[in-house]
């Protein structure tokens, strides 16, 4: 099934990127997309991605880290960040210790030291408010009192910051969208962002953020399959169901219809929210981006045949942010 291939595509991109985390050269300009599922970052053509999971630990903790995981100490508190982290932050709030920690860690692992320039994304609900956008920028620029990654003290000061709307990446990187009216639907782990762009300029009145992300899909799968098969699924089990297109039960693959219905229902909910805002997607180009769009690509095409799902959807925001920040500072 298409969604099984999409899961594999996401995991493949993730696996390829984590081997690039140890960048020893010094860089000064960065783009960071700190998403609810994963943090993606770029410094020129260098890339880094790790899971946006964390666990609070004692500072003296010396557990060996595996996968793409880091011991991070920030403002006198210690955490495991990345693959081995056990908690996620699914709130819409961006001014959180996780987002700040993930952003600074990504910059550090890509070679950032001392004064740096960075572009970051935020939900369109924050971006369209001058006050909220300014508060977010100030929060991210506020230098931690203490910052260590893997027991190494690192000084990072964000000298300049560019805040961009989540979902805008493809608009800035693809010349096809120049001089066009394009609806961008960004489907992430926790939320969806919607914006209409006219000749690459965001139509502020069109912007909205909704709590529709892959977490909705995972929650429904857990609820329905726990009840039907009398089991207690963990997150890894839910991901396996999505990858397989069903659940392995007594040696047989079952529940394919339930998975399909859940994915279809999710896409219907997304499109209904756009319709509720009185936007007719039939009259404009439509672009889906964000990692969750790869998961429901088949269902999107079934309902909106002219829509385009960005091939490298999980990286599209970071790539766009990277292009903007580097052009802004003449690199």
SS (H, E, C) 136-167: HHHHHHCCCCCEEECCEECCEEEEEEEEEECC
- Is residue 163 a part of any domain in this protein? yes
194: burial class by Cβ within 10 Å (0-12, 13-18, 19+)? buried
In 3D space, the residue among 81, 51, 46, 43 whose CA is nearest the CA of residue 239 turns out to be 51
Mean pLDDT, residues 288-314: 94
- Is residue 212 a part of any domain in this protein? no
Element containing residue 42 per DSSP (H, E): strand 38-43
Is residue 311's pLDDT more than 80? yes
Q: Please give, one letter per residue, the 3-state secondary structure of 78-145.
A: EEEEECCCCECCCCCCCCCHHHHHHHHHHHHHCCEEEEEEEEEEECHHHHCCHHHHHHHHHHHHCCCC
- Is residue 225 a part of any domain in this protein? no
Q: Using the 8-state DSSP alphabet, how is residue 65 labeled?
A: P
CATH of the domain at 54: 3.30.420.40
Mean pLDDT, residues 27-36: 92
- Residue 19 in 3-state DSSP? helix
- Is residue 268 a part of any domain in this protein? no
- Is residue 68 a part of any domain in this protein? yes
- In this structure, of 70-79, 154-163, 230-239, 299-308, the range with the lowest mean pLDDT score is 230-239
- Is residue 183 a part of any domain in this protein? no
- Answer for the pair 282, 314: CB distance below 8 angstroms, yes or no: no
- Is residue 249 a part of any domain in this protein? no
Mean pLDDT, residues 293-301: 95
What total of structural domains would you count in the chain?
1
d(CA 281, CA 268): 13
- Residue 59 in 3-state DSSP? coil
Mean pLDDT, residues 45-59: 93
Residue pLDDT, tens place only, 222-275: 999 999 988 888 888 998 999 899 999 888 999 999 999 999 999 999 999 999
Domain with 62 in it: 2-167+315-328
Tokens of 132: 């909220």
Residues in the chain: 331
pLDDT at 3: 47
- Is residue 218 a part of any domain in this protein? no
pTM value is 0.85
Tokens of 47: 């890339």
- Residue 31 in 3-state DSSP? strand
Q: Using the 8-state DSSP alphabet, how is residue 229 labeled?
A: H
């Amino acid at each position: 099934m298409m969604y099984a291939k999409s899961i594999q595509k996401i995991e493949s991109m993730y696996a390829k990127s984590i081997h690039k985390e140890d960048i020893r050269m010094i860089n000064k300009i960065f783009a960071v997309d700190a998403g609810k599922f994963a943090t993606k970052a770029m410094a020129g053509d260098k890339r880094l991605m790790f899971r946006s999971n964390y666990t609070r630990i004692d500072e003296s903790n010396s557990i060996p880290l595996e996968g793409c995981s880091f011991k991070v100490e920030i403002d006198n508190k210690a955490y495991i960040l990345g693959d081995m982290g056990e908690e996620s932050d699914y709130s819409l709030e961006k001014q959180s210790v996780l987002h700040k920690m993930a952003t600074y860690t990504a910059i550090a692992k890509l070679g950032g030291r001392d004064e740096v320039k960075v572009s970051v994304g935020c939900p369109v609900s924050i971006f369209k408010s001058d006050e909220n956008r300014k508060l977010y920028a100030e929060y991210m620029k506020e230098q931690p009192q203490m910052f260590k990654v893997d027991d190494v003290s690192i000084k990072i000061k964000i000298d300049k910051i560019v805040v961009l709307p989540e979902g805008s990446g493809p608009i800035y990187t693809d010349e096809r969208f120049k001089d066009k009216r394009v609806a961008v639907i960004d489907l992430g782990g926790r939320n969806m962002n919607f914006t209409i762009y006219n000749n690459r300029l965001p139509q502020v009145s069109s912007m909205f953020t909704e709590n529709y992300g892959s977490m909705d899909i995972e929650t429904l799968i857990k609820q329905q399959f726990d009840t039907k098969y009398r089991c207690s699924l963990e997150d890894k089990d839910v991901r396996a169901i999505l990858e397989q297109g069903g659940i392995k039960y007594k040696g047989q693959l079952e529940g394919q219809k339930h998975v399909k219905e859940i994915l279809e229902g999710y896409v219907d909910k997304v499109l209904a929210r756009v319709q509720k805002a009185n936007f007719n997607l039939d009259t404009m180009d439509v672009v889906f981006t964000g990692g969750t769009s790869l998961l429901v690509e088949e269902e999107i095409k079934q309902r909106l045949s002219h829509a385009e799902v960005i091939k490298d959807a999980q990286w599209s925001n970071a790539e766009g942010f990277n292009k903007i920040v580097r052009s802004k500072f003449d690199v």
